Amino acid sequence: MLIVACRQRLVGCGSMHMLKVCGTADRFSTSLCHTMFSSAVPYKNQHYSELKKACIKDKKLFEDSEFPAINSSLFFRRSPPGRVEWKRPGEISKSPHLFVEGISAHDLNQGSVGNCWFVAACSCLALKENLWKKVIPDWKEQEWDSTHPEDYAGIFHFQFWLFGEWVDVVVDDRLPTVNGELIYCHSKDNNEFWSALLEKAYAKLAGYAVVDFTGAVAEAIDLEAEAFHSDQKKQDELFTDLLKVYDRGGLISCSIKAKAHEIELKMGNGLVKGHAYSVTAVKNVRLGHGLLAYFKNETIPMIRMRNPWGKTEWNGAWSDTSEEWSKVGDTERGNLGITVADDGEFWMVFSDWCKYFTDVDVCRLINTSVISIHKRWHEVVHFGSWTKNADPLLNRCGGCYNHKLTFLQNPQYLFDVTKEVDQVLLSLQQKDMKINRKYGQGENQTVGFSIIKVETNRKYRLHDIVTQQFVATSTYINARTVFMRVNLQQGRYIVMPTSFKPLTLTDYMLRLFTDVDSGCRELMDDKPKVRCWSSFVGYPQVVSHIYVHAAQGLENQDKTGGNYPYVIIYCEGKSVESPVKKDTLEPEFAFSAVFYRKHPRKPITVQIWNSNAVKDQFMGQVMLTGSVKDTTEAQVLRLRKQGSQMAEEMPGYISLKIVTVTQLTAI
């Protein structure tokens, strides 16, 4: 659940983002609800129960050969903060425990190496019992048992979400210390070791913490670039969204951008630059005292955070001892758990938070459960690769749209939006290459994706973008995950995950969430296949693309109500119907269809109808020859009647464009 790896543009370990806590979002799962009880894959084929039994039988403590107790296991291109000694918990404390009086966000302190982002992530994890019990499985069985010391084998295991699956990671209990003190994440109680052991498992899995604690979806928000502090409407919308995320079990972290020399620099207001804070509450705090406060129902949006240091807090408005808290009644203050102590946890009014913090990582737990009181999503997950092939039609590594000649040589995933408007969440995750840094295989690729609106009846790969509509393009960044939320109109779309440059070869995972099932699927075929019966029934000779822009001057069909026109395109016994346009005689359809035609001499018919509860009404049509010799320019045509009267005109005009070609892979 920790969110993801650190954001590339930030400098230094102290500035790593924690969404880097919630789940990089990148590692996605089918939803936490779905995977919560799924079995985990043993990392490096190390089975916890088998290894523990063997150690107990041989009466020895486990030593992990896959993650030896040496400096190179923990440090990459830097030196430790002193002479490192590896000690087991029993050598650090006389009475070691996994947990002391349960698990709490206040358990944790940052180590002497700058790992604030991991501590912030653990703080978020500690707030969600259903999550930490997944990350720390069999926690009761793993606890020290003083009555049966012979059962202790010095071995622990933890679970993380890694590129689409839960992975079970085994570690021994040897922990790095300097001068007898743990140098990484540790608990305030010197005999509590869950966080130190968890971080060791995290480091083993990724070489450094770059893995998620959950299968959630992470979104990075740049408060500074989007100027939330000066836009009240955007600020209100963001607060509403974060409140939903928090109430539904999601995780949030934040930080303040810092230059290299400003890392962990304390500002005059008590906040620290280049430092990850965990958000521990999002609330509308009620103002006033007594019953009057409930009747007035006056609230103020606020957010609570925790500094991983366990001290050093915000000292501005609504800080622990500020006079603003006199505006809040005792009952409300009790509900909020207000404490006057330098414990690292503090409240801020949301407007100040937007003003002083610059980066937010939001980790959403996506609910796909059918049984739920909260919004549920339909999810589709695709695993794929950017691959190279000598045949351009089989190439799948064309790079971003800057490379127009090869752009369409990328994987293409088709999905439908069936509601009038639907919010769509998309997340593209690449396999994290940073875990291979020690082997000289280095950096993540710069990746992103584009969303293109296509013909309502498209079934084959897209080969031309001139006639298509780009509706959204993500940011391209060398991070594990790229995320986008976008509202899409009813229609058919293609999402195209790409690397920034062509011929970049790596694996990826694409997740798409919609309110209604989108039928998302990868387009594999470039054109209709030749079947054994094609010689009898015929094979397409040409392909035609019809784009209907709009209609003007239509005849009123309903004297007492509105007009609801829509388009139907007919070709060789097949038809495609557009969405209905509400209450207009000048509809803008922006509607297209594509047909692979076996009989090019048969015309294409475009009709306009009025949607009616009793019976739809015909409003006019045009007949198109669809010849390869016809103009490819936009046309404005007079509507005509149908049947035996098709030569007669009807009120109104339709503007459209048709392109017909013999090369079936040209459109």
Q: Are 554 and 600 in contact (CB under 8 A)?
A: no
- Distance between CA atoms of 314 and 336, rounded to whole angstroms? 17
* Beta carbons within 8 Å of 577's beta carbon, 6+ residues apart: 456, 566, 567, 568
Starting at the edge strand that comes first in sequence, how are the strands of the sheet with 277-286 ordered?
217-222, 359-364, 251-255, 277-286, 299-306, 345-349
Give the contacts of 265 (CB within 8 A, at least 6 positions apart). 258, 272, 273, 274
CA–CA distance, 586 with 567 (Å, rounded to integer): 13
Torsion, CA 502, CA 503, CA 506, CA 511, rounded to 10 = 30
**DSSP secondary-structure letter at 298?**
-
CA distance 527 to 535: 17
Closest CA to 152 of 242, 61, 224, 231: 61
Q: What angle do CA 485, 429, 667 make, to 5 degrees?
A: 70
3-state secondary structure 114-164: CCHHHHHHHHHHHCCHHHHHHHCCCHHHHCCCCCCHHHCCCEEEEEEEECC
H helices present in 136-279, as ranges: 139-142, 194-206, 232-247
List 17, 157, 186, 275, catalytic entry: 275
116, 122, 354, 520: the active-site residue: 116
307 counts as catalytic: yes
Active site residue 275: yes
Does an H or E element contain 588, and which? Answer: strand 588-597
DSSP 8-state symbol, 197: H
Q: H or E segment at 646?
A: none
| Under 8 Å between Cβ of 173 and 156 | yes
Active site residue 378: no
- Catalytic entry in 307, 367, 395, 444: 307
Per DSSP, the chain holds a count of helices (H) and strands (E) of: 12, 29
Nearest to 209 by CA among 164, 169, 260, 265: 169
d(CA 468, CA 547): 10
Residue with tokens 């130190």: 196
Known catalytic residues are 116, 275, 307
